[in-house]
Structure 1
Amino acid sequence: MERCFSVSGDCTAPSLAGRAPPAPAHLVSTAPPAPAPPPTPPPRPGRPRGAGAMVDVSKWPLFSLLSAKETAAVRQACVFGNSANEALYVTHSNEFAVIGLNCSNCLGTGDSLSTIAPRALDALRGKKVASFSYGSGPHVLLATESGELYAWGHNGYSQLGNGTTNQCASPALVTTNLQGKRFKEVACGSHHSLALTTDGEVFAWGYNNCGQVGSGSTANQPSPRRVAGLLQGKAVVGVACGQTSSLALVDNGELYSWGYNGNGQLGLGNNGNQLSPCRLTALQGLCVQQVVAGYAHCLALTDEGALYAWGANTCGQLGTGNKSNQHSPVQVMAEKERVVEVAACHSTHTSAAKTQSGQVYMWGQCRGQSVVLPHLTHFVSTDDVFACVATPAVMWRLLSLETEDFMTLSQALGREFDSPETADLKFSVEGKYIYVHKAVLKIRCDHFRSMFQSHWSEDLQEVIEIEQFSFPVYRSFLHFLYTDTVELPPEDAIGLLDLATSYCENRLKRLCQQIIKRGITVDNAFTLLSAAVRYDAEDLEEFCFRFCVNHLTRVTQTAAFWQVDGAMLKEFICRASRCGAFKN
C-alpha cells in the first residue's frame, strides 16, 4: 500500500557502554566540564555489564534467541541498550516479555539477572503501549494508551522522575507533579526524559548540565516539571531527544529546541547552549510534520515532503555530500521524490528516509562506513536500515509488526486477482477487462452482495460495463477487495474516494484519505479540501484546511483557490478568520 499510497559526532559508534552516565565531554570536545557524577549502586554479584511494509523482527540478532512460535507471537517490539542487547516486546495476546543483558535493571523484571529466554513483565500485563523510549543508562519510559506513564532502569540523574537517584528494577508509575495528566508520547535523551500529555504539554526531568530539560537553568531536575517559556500556550504534538538536546513540534508546524548545541544540533544558526525552548526561525514559513534526533544531529520533514537536516556531520549523517557540521537546517534529497518518513535515534549516527513510492534511503554511519549522500537501498522500511547497518543495531522507534510463515488468505486471494484462469466474471472499464470472482465480491462488499441477486440483470452477465469510474480507480477498488491494500498514486485517490463513498466502503474511504494526505501540495490543497467537503470526509477536510491555513499566502495564489464556488470560498475565509489566520 505504501509504495503508491500504501558530538563531535565521532565516526566511530557512540560509546554508550558502562553504567555511569557519560560526561558531555565524551559527546563533544567543546562541551563544558560535567559535574561530578552522582554515585551509582554497586553491581550485584553475577550482574553482567554492558510496521505498510512487512518488517522481519528476526533481522535483529537478539530475536534469534526466540523460537519460531515466540517470534510469530510478537506484535510490538523494541531493541535497545548500549550494544543492542536488551529488548522488550508485546504479544498479540497483549502479554509483555523482555530478553537480554538487563544492564541497570532496564528489563524491569524486578532483579538484575540477564536472560536468553523471554521473561514475562507482569507489572504491565494487560496494558497497551502508546509510546516507548530508552536512554543510554539505559533507562526506559513507556506511555500506555490509557495515558499512564511508567519508568524503570538507570536513575543516576533522576531520569526516572521519582525524585531519587536509585535504580528502579520494575516498571513504576511516574506521578510526581503529574496529577490528572495523561500522556501519549515519551522521549529519552542520554540521561534526561521528556513526556508529552494528551493536551499538548511537555514535561521534562533528569540530567540538565546543558539545559536539556528546558527549565532555564543547568540544575538537574529530579522530578517532572512542565517546559514553558516559548512553549507556553502552544499545543505540542511531538517530542524528540538527542543525547543532550531536546525538540518539540507544535501543532502549527513550528519547531522548538533547547539543550546542548556544540554541533549546531539545535538548528539556531550558532553553537551556544540554550536553557529554555527556542524557535527554529530558519524553518519559518514551513510546516514541519515529523522531527527525529540522532546522537547529535536532527532531521525534520515538512508537510510538503521536504527533508531538512542540521547538526553534527562527521559521519555524513546529514546527507549533504560532505562532513561539515551545519548550525542551521539545510534541505537534503531535494532532487528526489517526496519524502514521507525520516528516521534517526540518539544511539547512532545513522539516518534513513522513505519516499512516496516506497524507496528507502540511508546515510551517515553505515556498517562502519561514512555515507555522505542518501544511498538507495533494497530495504522496504526505515526499520530495516537500523537492523542491518546501524551501530548499535537498535530500533529507532517502537516497532509494530506482523510475522507470517505461511500464505495468508489475502495473499492467496491477491494472487488470483485479475486472473483469467480462475475468474468467473469480468468488468469492462474504458475498453479494458478486469477479471474477478463473483463469490469473493459478494463476501467482501455489500454493494456486490446486493447486485448479484436473481432479480438483478448483472447476476446473469459474464461482462459488466462500468462507465462512471476510470479504469485505474475501479481496478484499484477491486484489488482492495482482494488484498486490503491500495495501489494508487495520490492524484487518482480522489476518484477512489468518490467510489468508496458511493459504495459505502468506510475502510477504503479512510485509506484514500491517507493517500491524499501524503500527496497534498500547495497547488492541489484547495482542490483536495473541496473534494473532502464534497465527499463528507471530515478527517481529510480538517487536514486539508490546516494545510491551507499553514500555507495561506501561497494557497490563495493558486488557480484552484479562485475557481471554487463562492459559498465554499466564503465559508473557508470565515473559518480561517475564526482560527486567527488573518492576525497581523
Structure 2
Amino acid sequence: MSESENSIHRHLFEHPPSDQHVAWGWNKEGQLGTSIHSRQEAETSPQTISKVFFTRDLSVGLSHTLFISRNGEVYATGKGRYGRLGLSDERTQTVPVRLSFSKRVLRVSAGSFHSAFVTERLELYTFGRGESGQLGHGELVDVLTPRLVEGLTDPVDLVSCGADHTILTTLKGCVYGMGANKHHQVNEMDVAILPTPVFVDLNPLVDSLTARASDITGLSAGTGFNVAIKKGVLYAWGLNAAGQCGASSKDETIARPHKIKVPSAKGNTKRIFTQVATGMSHAVAVTEEGEVFGWGSSQHGQLGLGMMTDVVTVDTSKPVRIGESLLAEYVIKVACGAFHTLVLTSTGYLYSWGLNDYGQTGPEGVGGITSVPHRMRIPQRGKDGSTIMSIAAGGRSSMATRYYPTLVKVRESTYDKDIHSIYLNNQHTDCKVVLRAKEGGDEDKHVNAHKIIMARHSQFVEQLAGDTIDATESFTSIPDLSSFLGRLYSNNVAYSLAKVQDQAIHAHKCILVSRSNKLKVELESQFQEALNKTLYIDNVDPSVYLTFLHYLYTDKLHIDQENAMNLLELAHEQDMERMLELVQEYIINVVDEDSVSFIYETSMRLGLETLSDYSEYYISKNMDAVAQTDTFNALPDDLKKKLSLHLVQEGKKAKGKQQNCIIN
C-alpha cells in the first residue's frame, strides 16, 4: 500500500475535518449542534460542528436537525419536546447524539415537530409529535423512539415531513400521506385528520404484482402544502392562500395534485425540473439547466425578487425565474427554511436570501431582509480540499456539508446514453408506431419502437395490448414522429420493470443488451440463450438477481447488509464496473469486526485491490477484536499468513516513525 493510500485510509478512519460541516442561524434550541456547554440564540456567521462522524445527509426542521453518518447511523440535535429527536425522552440536545437504532438509514426528514427516515430495507420509521396523525401509526399520540409505519405494501422511496403531516412515495411511484388534512395537504377527502397512510392521486394505484418504476424524483412538504416532481414536471396540492401551490391565491386550497404551469425555455422547449424545496409559504425549484424558479409568498424576500416587486406587480402564484446574481450560475441544489432560501452552484458557491432575523442568510444585514441572492463567504474548498456537496435549511437555520472522502471512485453513470442507444440502434423492437395514409395518399408509414418506452407517454398506453400504435391524430409526418420518439427515449427512467411469473423473470431484451455488454453477447450471439430467448440463472439468489435487473432498468441499486456480498460477486461476474464500485463503496462504509474477514477473503479471490487493502487496514487496527470472530478463524492459512506479514510491516513503519521523531 502506498503512502498516499495509507493517508486516505487514516483519514477515513479518523474524525472528519472540523470544517466538513458548517451551520449558522437560529440556535436557541441547540438545533445547529455547535455548542457543548451553552446555547447561543443565534450564530450569525457559519460555525463548524465538532463531531465524530462524517455527515452524508441531513435534514433541518423547525428547531431540530437529523444527520445520517457515512455508515448509515442517525444523529439528532436540538429541541427534544414530543420526542422528535428519537432518543427515548424529551430532553433537548446541543450537540449531535446518536440514536439507538440498529438498521442502516438512507434518508431522513425533519418536520416542525416530528421526524421520519427510510432504512436501507426501504421501510419507513416515524417519531415525535403525533396529535394530528402525522406519524401514520393510527394513534394520535407522541412517539419517543423510531417506530415502523405498518400497512405500506411497497418499498418506500422518498419521504418529507411538513408542519403536521407527512408525504411519501413508493418505488412504484405511488404517493401516500398522513396527518392533518384541513387544507387537503394529504388528499382530497373532507376529513380533518388521517392517522394512517392514504393514497394520493398523483400516479395511478397499482397492485403488488404489477411492476412499475417510480417517475417521481422530487418531493417536499411545506406548511400545509406539498410539491412533487413527476417526469420533470411540478405538481402541488394543499394550502394555497399565498399561491404556494402555483395557482391563483383566489383558490385557498388545492384539493388534488395539479400541474404547475412554468414558462417555456428558448425554442418553446419544456423545462425539466430536478429538485424542489418548500418553506412555510413558498417553494423554489431547480431545472436541469441550472435555472431557479420560485413561487408563493415573497413577504420576507424569500423569492429573491429584490426591487422588482416595488417597480412592477409580480404574480408570484406562478413560478418566477430568480435572477440577479444567479443568472450566470448553474444551480445544482436548493433548500428552504421557513422564510429564507439557499442554493448551491456547480462551482461550489452558496447563495442565500430572505428573512435574516437570526443570521440564517449570513452575517451581512442581520435583523433585516436579504432581498436578492447574495454569495456567502464560505470557502469553496475545505482544509482537505473538499467542496460543499449538500445544503439544508429549516425554520430560521441553515447548514452546509462538504464532500466526505471515499476509497472508491465511482464513475459517472452511462444510464441516459444506454437508454437512448435503444432508439438509435432500433434493435429488438416489439411494436410499430403508425401514421395512417390519408385518402388517396401514399401507403401507411411506421417507425419501429419498444413498448416499454412507449408506456412512458399517456397517449400510447391504451394501445400497448397489440403490436401497432396509431399516432395519426397527433403527428403529420415521420420526421415529427421520430423527433418526438427520440425525446421519449431520452427522458426519465424505464417505466415497466421485469416481471416475475411462473418462477421466471420476464425482462426486455432491449434494456438488457443496452445496459450490459455481457448480456448483449449472450443474447445476440448463436449461444443457446439467444436462440431460446432464455437465460438460466442457477447460481444466484432470485432476489439478488432482481436487484441487479432493477439496477439495469432504473440505475438505482438497492444494497443492504444481507445482499451486499452477493451483489459484489454478481457485479464482478457480469463485468458491471460501476455497479461493482457502488457495492464496494457501500461495503467499506459498513464493515465491522464480524464481517471484515469474509470481505477480505472474497476481495482477494475476486482480485479487488482497493477492498482487500482496506480490509487489511481495518484488521490491523482492530486485530484483537477481529481475531476472536469465527469468520477470522475460518480464513485459509495462506491469507492468515499474508495478514501476519502485513501486521509486521505496519509495526516496522510505526516504529520507524516514532524513531524519526526523537530529537538528540
How many Å separate the matches in 2 of 1:88 and 1:189? 15
Cα pair distance change 1:574/1:196, threshold 3 Å: closer
Cα pair distance change 1:175/1:358, threshold 3 Å: same
What does the per-residue CA deviation read over 1:392-419, in whole Å, with 9 as the maximum and x for residues that have no partner? 22559xx67538xxxx9x9xxxxxxxxx
| Cα distance, 1:248 vs structure 2 | 1.4
Contact 1:154 1:168 in 2 (8 A): yes
Q: Indicate the SS of the match to 2:192.
A: coil
How many Å separate the matches in 2 of 1:108 and 1:369? 34
1:133-148 pair list within 5 angstroms? 133-136=109-112, 138-148=113-123
| Cα distance, 1:337 vs structure 2 | 2.4
Residues 1:131 and 2:107 aligned together: yes
How many Å separate the matches in 1 of 2:481 and 2:136? 50
What residue is the counterpart of 1:268 in the other structure?
A: 247
Cα pair distance change 1:182/1:373, threshold 3 Å: same
Amino acid aligned to 1:205: M
* Bigger Rg over Cα: 2
What residue is the counterpart of 2:504 in the other structure?
A: none
What residue is the counterpart of 2:331 in the other structure?
A: 340
| Cα distance, 1:96 vs structure 2 | 3.5
How many Å separate the matches in 2 of 1:278 and 1:573? 24
Residues 1:103 and 2:105 aligned together: no
- Of 306, 317, 331 in structure 1, the residue corresponding to residue 321 of structure 2 is 331
How many Å separate the matches in 1 of 2:489 and 2:76? 50
Residues 1:402 and 2:404 aligned together: yes
- Of 306, 320, 337 in structure 1, the residue corresponding to residue 291 of structure 2 is 306
How many Å separate the matches in 1 of 2:204 and 2:370? 36
What residue is the counterpart of 1:377 in the other structure?
A: 376
How many Å separate the matches in 2 of 1:79 and 1:65? 19
- Of 251, 260, 264 in structure 2, the residue corresponding to residue 280 of structure 1 is 260
TM-score normalised by structure 2 residue count:
0.49
Residues 1:235 and 2:247 aligned together: no
Amino acid aligned to 1:354: L
Amino acid aligned to 1:376: R
Cα pair distance change 1:283/1:293, threshold 3 Å: farther
Amino acid aligned to 1:319: G
What residue is the counterpart of 1:190 in the other structure?
A: 163
Matched residues, number: 376
What residue is the counterpart of 1:353 in the other structure?
A: 343
How many Å separate the matches in 1 of 2:488 and 2:396? 50
Q: Indicate the SS of the match to 2:33.
A: helix
1:550-565 pair list within 5 angstroms? none
| Cα distance, 1:226 vs structure 2 | 1.4
How many Å separate the matches in 1 of 2:21 and 2:234? 33
Cα pair distance change 1:118/1:210, threshold 3 Å: closer
* Structure 1 residue runs without a partner (length 5+): 1-52, 411-443, 445-483, 485-506, 518-524, 535-545, 551-567
What residue is the counterpart of 1:295 in the other structure?
A: 280
Contact 2:285 2:334 in 1 (8 A): no
Q: Indicate the SS of the match to 1:113.
A: coil
What residue is the counterpart of 2:53 in the other structure?
A: 73
What residue is the counterpart of 1:221 in the other structure?
A: 194
| Cα distance, 1:529 vs structure 2 | 6.7
How many Å separate the matches in 2 of 1:362 and 1:118? 25
Cα pair distance change 1:228/1:391, threshold 3 Å: closer
Amino acid aligned to 1:392: R
Amino acid aligned to 1:147: L
Cα pair distance change 1:573/1:340, threshold 3 Å: same
| Cα distance, 1:352 vs structure 2 | 2.1
| Cα distance, 1:574 vs structure 2 | 6.2
Contact 2:174 2:202 in 1 (8 A): no
Amino acid aligned to 2:338: T
| Cα distance, 1:59 vs structure 2 | 3.4
| Cα distance, 1:182 vs structure 2 | 0.7
Comparing 298-307 and 257-266, the one that deviates more: 298-307
What residue is the counterpart of 1:161 in the other structure?
A: 136
What does the per-residue CA deviation read over 1:431-452, in whole Å, with 9 as the maximum and x for residues that have no partner? xxxxxxxxxxxxx9xxxxxxxx
| Cα distance, 1:207 vs structure 2 | 0.7
How many Å separate the matches in 1 of 2:272 and 2:485? 22
How many Å separate the matches in 1 of 2:347 and 2:22? 25
Q: Indicate the SS of the match to 1:104.
A: helix
- Of 393, 398, 404 in structure 1, the residue corresponding to residue 397 of structure 2 is 393
| Cα distance, 1:338 vs structure 2 | 4.5
How many Å separate the matches in 1 of 2:52 and 2:216? 36
How many Å separate the matches in 1 of 2:66 and 2:76? 4
| Cα distance, 1:348 vs structure 2 | 2.0
Q: Indicate the SS of the match to 1:200.
A: coil
How many Å separate the matches in 2 of 1:359 and 1:578? 34
| Cα distance, 1:231 vs structure 2 | 6.2
Contact 1:316 1:370 in 2 (8 A): yes
Residues 1:59 and 2:23 aligned together: yes
How many Å separate the matches in 1 of 2:54 and 2:345? 27
* Structure 2 residue runs without a partner (length 5+): 1-16, 38-47, 207-213, 265-269, 360-366, 381-386, 426-452, 458-478, 493-664
What does the per-residue CA deviation read over 1:264-288, in whole Å, with 9 as the maximum and x for residues that have no partner? 1111234411111111133573221
Comparing 351-360 and 261-270, the one that deviates more: 351-360
| Cα distance, 1:375 vs structure 2 | 1.4
How many Å separate the matches in 1 of 2:344 and 2:391? 11
| Cα distance, 1:263 vs structure 2 | 0.5
How many Å separate the matches in 2 of 1:310 and 1:186? 22
Contact 2:173 2:203 in 1 (8 A): no
Q: Indicate the SS of the match to 1:351.
A: strand
Contact 1:145 1:184 in 2 (8 A): no
How many Å separate the matches in 2 of 1:330 and 1:395? 25
TM-score normalised by structure 1 residue count:
0.55
Contact 1:337 1:355 in 2 (8 A): no
Q: Indicate the SS of the match to 2:186.
A: coil
Cα pair distance change 1:365/1:172, threshold 3 Å: same
How many Å separate the matches in 1 of 2:349 and 2:95? 36
- Percent identity over the alignment? 25
| Cα distance, 1:108 vs structure 2 | 1.2
Amino acid aligned to 2:293: Y
How many Å separate the matches in 2 of 1:394 and 1:267? 25
Residues 1:210 and 2:214 aligned together: no
Residues 1:254 and 2:224 aligned together: no
| Cα distance, 1:165 vs structure 2 | 0.8
How many Å separate the matches in 2 of 1:77 and 1:304? 24
Contact 1:55 1:384 in 2 (8 A): no
How many Å separate the matches in 2 of 1:299 and 1:305? 12
Contact 2:218 2:230 in 1 (8 A): yes
- Of 363, 366, 370 in structure 1, the residue corresponding to residue 353 of structure 2 is 363
Q: Indicate the SS of the match to 1:259.
A: strand
Cα pair distance change 1:574/1:400, threshold 3 Å: same
Cα pair distance change 1:580/1:318, threshold 3 Å: closer
Cα pair distance change 1:105/1:578, threshold 3 Å: closer
Contact 1:76 1:400 in 2 (8 A): no
